[in-house]
Structure 1
Amino acid sequence: MTKQDAITIKGVREIGAKKLVGFRVICDSMEEFGKEIPKASLELVRRKNEIHRLVEPVQLIGAFKPQETSEADDGYWVCFEVHDYEAIPKGMVTLTVPPQKYAILHFQGHASQIFGVYSHLHQWIESNDHQRKPSNWTLEIYSSWSEAEDQVDLSRM
């Protein structure tokens, strides 16, 4: 991380169900994910006007399970949240993430550093007597997304 990167733990919070529309990225390695997720994010932003009933048009959401429980869970979803599924654009998919309790960490810095930031969140979860559940969904909620710098809330339990 650089001196400009900032990490703030926001605590534990219940987040309601999320209906997501976007792209599913499936890769064989973390390196490949590091290349394909930004491409999918840029394509999703480019095609945002095709998605109906957006909840927050500037908020990209990444979703994944650290420990897949089935082949259907494999991958990383780059999405926008919608109020309801309606006329899903060609090539896009839907994903409904059930309500869950999350530990939330806010990170401001370059997206390439996000993977390393999870260790801070894991340490906080353990030191505050919470239990991680790797088979649950993890959400990365981007309030500002660019190739240079991101602001993201990492939500995992």
Structure 2
Amino acid sequence: MKKSILFLLMLTGIIFSACSTTKQASSKELYSTTWELDFITGSRIAFDGLYPNEKPNLTFDKESNRVHGTNSCNGYSYKFTLDNEKLTFSEPGPATLRYCEGNGDKVFLEMMEKVESFSFDENNKLNLMANGIPVMRFKKTNNN
């Protein structure tokens, strides 16, 4: 009886893990594309209010271990460290310094500092995670 219950519990665990909504993260999917932000957490301002004109984006460069893009207003660059699904960004590097209306650029850069890992969801969107929770989600842009 105990063996059959244990077997059923193990089988249930296998089924649930197979039906997971996030794919195993593969770093090769990060490269050769530009990712456009379509969700960010932590702001009391609606997403379209934070980024009314241009959405932040990022591109990972495998050769230089740098990620670069725009934060909706200014260009930015970070070094990144990648170890399996763990992903962290260094202090920001060179950036443009245009005046930006609102605070969407600031919200984006503050969230980049919190990232600890990444995953891909069932729609192949890139999730940047903090404490195991998606804090930013990106979709591939059409120019790839």
TM bin (shorter chain):
under 0.3
TM-score by length of 2: 0.26
Q: Which has the higher contact order (CA 8 A, sep 6+)?
A: 1
TM-score by length of 1: 0.25
Higher Rg: 2
